[in-house]
Copies of this chain bind each other. A is one copy, B any other.
Amino acid sequence: MTDVPMTARTGPKAANASTGEILSGYLTAQAGAFLRALPQAVGEAGSRPGALPAGGASAAAAAGTEELLRAVRRIGGALHTFAAAFERDWSAETRSELRWLLNLLAQEPALLRRSARLLAALDSLSETDPLGPGMLAGHAGAPKARALLERQLTLARTRAHSTVLQELRSARLHALADRMTLLAGDVPLLDGVARQEGGTLPPLAAEAFGALAAEAQRLPLSRAATPYGGEGLRRLGTVPAAREPSAEPRTRGGEVDADSAVAADDAPWHRVRILVKRARYALEVCGAPDAELDLLDCTLHRHQEAADAAVTVATAARTPRITPATAYVLGVVHADQRLEVEAARYAFGHQWPNLALGLPQAQGAPPAPRMA
Contacts and interface: CB of A to CB of B under 8 A. Distances in A.
A248 interface: yes
Given A134-B233, A234-B125, A331 B339 contact: no
Nearest to A342: B228
A342 to B, nearest CB: 6
A256 interface: yes
B317 A132 contact: no
A296 to B, nearest CB: 17
Interface string A132-171: 1111111100000000000000000000000000000000
Interface in A327-372: 327-336, 338-340, 342-343, 346
A236 B330 contact: no
A121 to B, nearest CB: 7
A314 to B, nearest CB: 9
Contacts of A338: 135
A325 interface: yes
A291 interface: no
Given A236-B135, A257-B138, A228 B227 contact: yes
Contact of A132 (B127, B138, B238): B238
Contacts of A57: none
A59 interface: no
A54 interface: no
Nearest to A324: B327
Contacts of A62: none
A262 interface: yes
Contacts of A326: 324
Nearest to A120: B234
Q: Which of A121, A127, A227 gathers the greatest number of chain B CB atoms within 10 Å?
A: A227
A251 B331 contact: no
Contacts of A346: 227-228
A122 to B, nearest CB: 9
Contacts of A124: 234-235
Q: Which of A131, A138, A325 gathers the greatest number of chain B CB atoms within 10 Å?
A: A138
A341 to B, nearest CB: 10
Contact of A235 (B134, B249, B328): B134
Contact of A324 (B129, B238, B317): B317
Interface string A251-275: 1000111100110010000000000
A334 B336 contact: no
A128 interface: yes
A327 B139 CA distance: 13
Interface of A: 121, 124-125, 127-139, 227-228, 230, 233-236, 238, 240, 248-249, 251, 255-258, 261-262, 265, 317, 322-336, 338-340, 342-343, 346
